[in-house]
Amino acid sequence: MSVKPTQSEQNEELLQRLIDGSLPDEFGRYGMFGGRYVPETLVPALERLEQGMRDHLDTPEFREELRAQLHDWVGRPTPLTHVPRISEAWGADVWFKREDLAHTGAHKINNSIGQALLAKRLGVKRIVAETGAGQHGVATAAACARLGLPCRVYMGEIDIERQAPNVDRMRRLGTEVFPVTTGDRTLRAAIDEAIRDWVTDPEHTYYLLGSAIGPHPYPTLVQRLQSVIGQEARAQILEATGALPDVAVACVGGGSNAIGMFHPLLADRSIQLIGIEAGGRGDALGDHSATLSHGTPGVLHGNYSMLLQDADGQVQETHSVSAGLDYPGVGPEHALLKQIGRVQYKVIGDDEALDALNECCRLEGILPALESAHALAGARRWARENPGKRILIGMSGRGDKDMPTLRTLPL
């Protein structure tokens, strides 16, 4: 006689399958999320990419080439830093994983150099990418220069104005920055345009996607390339303290730095995992970008996940003081991790993030990116509710890029 599995048994099975790599399934599904919702013309390119991942990612040659680029050029392993003054202030034992010290200032370079190496193996002639705040554009421009690949980055004309220094950096690195004047003229329209370009010649063009989003196999590819964060951090904190952390905290925009931290820790059941979304200036639709906390399921940019949309399915404008968290979608693996309860997702608003940023600057001499400051603030809240614990925080990037925004905000 067969007994219907309970909800918690089903959740446990899905978690096991994430850990052993049998999720996503052959259709790119993470449970009900993920998949591939794209024009027919792109299916062969996505299948080539999937085959390319199978052919190359796990070979000794590719792994060695990637390892060498990460070590010699990106500066990995990034340090794990104990922060004694924050630890004292919070009544906890706090450690930062320092992606802010990676080349170009954030974790994004791990993904850009990895995908660019793969694109070279696939024999493509040019790279296209999208960027919002410009961080993914800069990382991709640098990776393409390093590997001698021509690159075009699509960027909304509003973002081009807001992020002038990053536009200059991309151009200086030899990348063509292509202004997008359609749609919302920000990141969402830039992704649409990059996909449109890619559709016209998917055989010779490689679309280098910047977060753990998009059609299968991108969410998996980005997770694989960013997992170096959690793998290093796990080994480093064991080495430094002889134990694993009680909790790991990371900020979630599209979800790439967080999945890179969390995925390698999924099997360590004793570690609580917390993702922090941007609460912006309030809970009303349009005032935040807390997709998992406030969204509903739907399709955006080729995958089925959680989404900020109105009752008619119109994708909504978002707001966050941190441009890197300001996206109305989120990666499908996070949607599943929330559903099965392995990761908790919390919301931190602009003001609280800024306060945590200021505290970090003054107590530890580290200027975090505004995105990473959300993780800091989320960890600080957790520390107050759970005194005396060991806390690992993903410091996804440095705040130098945020100086134009910070100049307008209180010290």
Ligand X SMILES: *Cc1c(COP(=O)(O)O)cnc(C)c1O
Q: Which residues bind ligand X (CB under 6 A)?
A: 106, 108, 135, 211, 251-258, 324-325, 369, 371-372, 396-397
Query: CB of residue 41 vs ligand X: minimum separation in angstroms?
Result: 27
From the list 256, 338, 396, 401, the catalytic residue is: 396
From the list 87, 97, 99, 108, the catalytic residue is: 108
Backbone CA torsion sign across 165, 170, 173, 179:
negative
Are residues 290 and 278 in contact, defined by beta-carbon separation less than 8 angstroms?
yes
Residue 372 falls in the annotated catalytic set: no
**Rounded to an integer, what distance in angstroms lies between the CA atom of residue 138 and that of residue 208?**
12
Instruction: Estimate to the nearest angstrom the gap between the alpha carbon of 180 and the chain centroid.
Output: 23
* Nearest residue to ligand X on Cβ basis: 397
Q: Which is nearer to ligand X, 107 or 381 (CB)?
A: 107
- Comparing C-alpha atoms, which of 228, 232, 236, 237 is closest to residue 93? 237
Query: CB of residue 280 vs ligand X: minimum separation in angstroms?
Result: 14
Residue 396 falls in the annotated catalytic set: yes
Q: Which is nearer to ligand X, 124 or 233 (CB)?
A: 233
Is residue 392 classed as helix, strand or coil in its secondary structure? Answer: strand
**Rounded to an integer, what distance in angstroms lies between the CA atom of residue 402 and that of residue 409?**
11
Q: Which is nearer to ligand X, 70 or 369 (CB)?
A: 369
Residue 338 falls in the annotated catalytic set: no
Question: Beta-carbon neighbour count of residue 164 at 10 Å?
Answer: 12
**Rounded to an integer, what distance in angstroms lies between the CA atom of residue 398 and that of residue 267?**
29
Q: Which is nearer to ligand X, 70 or 325 (CB)?
A: 325
Q: Which is nearer to ligand X, 69 or 257 (CB)?
A: 257
Radius of gyration from C-alpha coordinates of the chain: 20
Is residue 128 classed as helix, strand or coil in its secondary structure? Answer: strand
Measured between alpha carbons, how far is residue 202 from residues 86, 151, 195, 316 in Å? 49, 15, 10, 29
Query: CB of residue 133 vs ligand X: minimum separation in angstroms?
Result: 7
Query: CB of residue 266 vs ligand X: minimum separation in angstroms?
Result: 17
Give the residue numbers annotated as catalytic, written as ranges.
Answer: 108, 130, 396
